[in-house]
Amino acid sequence: MARICSLMWLLLPAAAGVLAAPALKEKPPKEPTIIGEWVRVDHKNAGTPVGPDHATHHQVFSADGQWEYWYGARGQSNGSMKYVTDTRQSPPTIDIGMGGNGGYRGIYKVEGDTLTLCLAIGNRERPKTFESSADQPTTLWVFQRVKSKD
pLDDT per residue as tens digits for the range 111-146: 999 999 999 988 889 999 999 999 889 999 999 999
42 — phi, psi (to 5°)?
-155, 150
Residues in Cβ contact with 143 at an 8 Å cutoff, skipping those fewer than 6 apart: 38, 39, 40, 41, 59, 114, 115, 116, 117
pLDDT over 80 (residue 22): no
Helices H / strands E in the chain, number of each: 1, 9
Mind listing the pLDDT tens digit for each residue in 76-117? 777 788 999 999 999 999 999 866 667 899 999 999 999 999
Q: For residue 8, what pLDDT is reported?
A: 46
pTM as predicted? 0.75
Residue type, 135: D
CA distance 30 to 147: 18
Strand partners, 58: 39, 70
Q: For residue 21, what pLDDT is reported?
A: 54
Q: What is the mean pLDDT of residues 23-33?
A: 68
